[in-house]
Amino acid sequence: MLELRNQFIMPPIKLGYSEGDGLVNQKHIDFYKRRSKHIGAITIEPLYLDSGLREIPAQLGIDNDEKNEGLKKLTNLIHLNGAKVIAHLNHPGRMANPKIPGNFFISSTDKACENGGAVPKKMNREMMDDVIKMFVDSAKRAVASGIDIIELQFGHGYLLSQFISPAVNDRTDEYGGSFNNRVTFPLEVLLSVRDAVDVSLIARISADEMISSGIHIEEMIEFSHLLEEKGIDAIHVSAGSVCSTPPWFFQHMFIPKGKAWELASRIKKKINVPVIFVGRINSSKDVELLNEKYDADYIAVGRAMVADSDFVGKILNKVEGNIRPCLACADGCLGGVKRGEGLSCVVNPLVNTSLHEISKADSLKKIAVIGGGLAGMEAAITLKERGHQVDLYEKNKLGGQFNLASLPPNKESLKDIVDYFNAEIESHKINLIQKEAVETDIEKGNYDAIIMATGAVPDISPIKGLKEFYWTEFLNDDELPHG
């Protein structure tokens, strides 16, 4: 049993905050401190088992005892906030980053990922034993660092999944071919870790790789039975492969919400160990649905906790306020890590910036904010929280041009941030003046300061003879093609 104070778990999310040495630093401390106040457990970002197996240059490591001191410091901090700590151990196999000098690549196959990557060496028995030792040694370091639970990655197209998946495993020996052969080595890893440490173990799996030749739910139900027989304490059910179907792995806005929950539900019905549900869980309605429809044992909330570090506290009614929504855009989180800037968030300005928590101003002022787009609304809300008197001018609909962002197909989630700001304007009782601000308004208002947030206007090309031009009209419902 995991024995958490509630059903919420933060899954592993790559931060990219290390300085290239794999060590915990103040950025990690600050990030997890803010997010461990109400949640049941925090899973630290994926920990590399060897410096030659990094997915990103700034990844945290657990490959030697030098890492223990920082991990202990981080673990102690999270424990002080009442949450348990999970170490996510993963060997990327052929999916190690080919752009990082010194990385090496092994797999069940000698073929590279079809969407790019290095050509791996096909593993022999000696290599398998080395991998098992990596997992065991890393698990022991995790326990020595005070970590409570270990999660082993069996999914998402990484090494153990590269053995399980018939789309990747092309072996003709006892580790390839039939389902029982393909799961032999992954189960050897599990049993070796189980024998080495006396803590709860979670298996993270892809219930379906979403490709015709890959892993599918029927085999994963069978695999879940085997995991249960071998002593696993919980199964974390996700989907997709970082090689073949990364959108399913990352669960961004173009992926149908709830499909991963349905897969988890099918596994839950067939086994007797707890199942962790995951995948774009970013609202109170999602949590209600997971509990009422699927009777979820545990709920993993990742990017929702990036967008709003008090997400769980608000769900549990321990923190007041509207939930700042994750838009599933993957721009600041995944994009920031890929750009080498580290994880950030397009809706949460406090993530990976030098900005401080909002505090009351020393002297209070009367301020006009002109323009009710996202920037204007954020400015008005922040000023109000600092104690200022605020008038917000907007002649049209609050949200400005961002109201257009959610109109294209599969981008409906972008509307959530407009709805959030509208709710914040209302709950903060900000004076909304729905008219175009003119000079007399400013004079009569007797304002101490004015913030101009009027946005942009379309640039008209200086083409000779141009009389008619179009901008965003095609996004309006009556302009969109039908049928």
Distance separating alpha carbons of residues 405 and 418, to the nearest angstrom = 10
Q: Using alpha carbons, list the distances in angstroms from residue 271 to 157, 228, 408, 457.
A: 23, 7, 41, 58
Least confident of 108-117, 268-277, 473-482: 473-482
Average pLDDT (404-410) is 90
Average pLDDT (1-22) is 96
Read off the pLDDT band of 50 (50, 70, 90): very high
Rounded (10°) CA dihedral 202, 164, 48, 341: -100
The answer, yes or no, to whether residue 164 has pLDDT greater than 90, is: yes
pLDDT 10s digits, 53-83: 999 999 999 999 999 999 999 999 999 999 9
Paired tokens of 408: 């294209």
The answer, yes or no, to whether residue 463 has pLDDT greater than 90, is: no
More confident residue, 252 or 436: 436
Average pLDDT (19-25) is 97
DSSP tally for the chain: helices H, then strands E: 16, 14
Amino acid of residue 245: T
Per-residue three-class SS string for 81-119:
CCCEEEEEECCCHHHCCCCCCCCCCEECCCCCCCCCCCC
Least confident of 190-204, 347-361, 369-383: 347-361
Q: What is the pTM of this model?
A: 0.95
**Per-residue model confidence (pLDDT) at position 481:** 61
Token pair 């009569």: residue: 444
Average pLDDT (191-207) is 98
**Per-residue model confidence (pLDDT) at position 460:** 79
**Per-residue model confidence (pLDDT) at position 354:** 86
The answer, yes or no, to whether residue 155 has pLDDT greater than 80, is: yes
Paired tokens of 389: 């008197």
Among 205, 167, 211, residue whose Cα is nearest residue 186: 205
Average pLDDT (173-193) is 98
Read off the pLDDT band of 477 (50, 70, 90): low
**Per-residue model confidence (pLDDT) at position 457:** 80
**Per-residue model confidence (pLDDT) at position 482:** 61
DSSP 413: G
- What sign for the dihedral angle of Cα 302, 207, 229, 171? negative
The residues near 110 (Cβ < 8 Å, ≥ 6 apart) are 119, 120, 121, 122
Written as one string, the DSSP assignment of 256-274 is PTTHHHHHHHHHHTT-SS-
Read off the pLDDT band of 459 (50, 70, 90): confident
Share of the chain above pLDDT 90, in %: 90
The answer, yes or no, to whether residue 85 has pLDDT greater than 60, is: yes
Paired tokens of 22: 């794999």
The residues near 203 (Cβ < 8 Å, ≥ 6 apart) are 151, 152, 154, 190, 227, 232, 234, 235, 236
Q: What b/e string do you get for 410-433 counting C-beta neighbours within 10 Å, with b at 16 or more?
A: ebebbbbbbebbbebbeeeebebb
DSSP 368: E
The answer, yes or no, to whether residue 227 has pLDDT greater than 90, is: yes
The answer to whether 114 touches 70, Cβ cutoff 8 Å, is no
DSSP 123: P
In order of their start, the domains of the chain are 8-338 (3.20.20.70), 358-483 (3.40.50.720)
The answer to whether 132 touches 119, Cβ cutoff 8 Å, is no
The answer to whether 241 touches 195, Cβ cutoff 8 Å, is no
Among 136, 140, 155, 124, residue whose Cα is nearest residue 227: 155
Residue count of the chain: 483
The answer to whether 217 touches 210, Cβ cutoff 8 Å, is no
Mean pLDDT of the chain: 95
Paired tokens of 386: 């600092």
Distance separating alpha carbons of residues 324 and 326, to the nearest angstrom = 7
**Per-residue model confidence (pLDDT) at position 28:** 98
Average pLDDT (238-248) is 95
Read off the pLDDT band of 413 (50, 70, 90): very high
171 φ, ψ to 5°? Answer: -75, 155
Q: Identify any residues that bridge with 277 across adjacent strands, giving them in sequence order.
A: 237, 299
Q: Using alpha carbons, list the distances in angstroms from residue 462 to 166, 288, 458, 459, 466.
A: 58, 54, 12, 9, 8
294 φ, ψ to 5°? Answer: -110, -5
Reported as half-sphere exposure (CB side, CA atoms, 13 A), residue 388 has a value of 24
Paired tokens of 416: 């959530």
Count Cβ atoms below 10 Å from residue 91 Cβ, excluding itself. 23
The answer, yes or no, to whether residue 480 has pLDDT greater than 70, is: no
pLDDT 10s digits, 28-48: 999 999 999 999 999 999 999
Read off the pLDDT band of 84 (50, 70, 90): very high
Average pLDDT (312-319) is 98
Of 17, 32, 48, 158, which is the active-site residue? 158
Centroid of chain to Cα 324: 15
The residues near 434 (Cβ < 8 Å, ≥ 6 apart) are 394, 395
The answer, yes or no, to whether residue 282 has pLDDT greater than 60, is: yes
Distance separating alpha carbons of residues 97 and 270, to the nearest angstrom = 36
Distance separating alpha carbons of residues 127 and 133, to the nearest angstrom = 10
The answer to whether 390 touches 430, Cβ cutoff 8 Å, is yes
Average pLDDT (210-215) is 96
297: left (phi over 0), alpha (psi -120 to 50) or beta: alpha
Distance separating alpha carbons of residues 264 and 278, to the nearest angstrom = 8
The answer to whether 204 touches 238, Cβ cutoff 8 Å, is yes
Whether 158 is a known active-site residue: answer yes
**Per-residue model confidence (pLDDT) at position 483:** 52
Distance separating alpha carbons of residues 104 and 134, to the nearest angstrom = 14
Distance separating alpha carbons of residues 248 and 152, to the nearest angstrom = 19
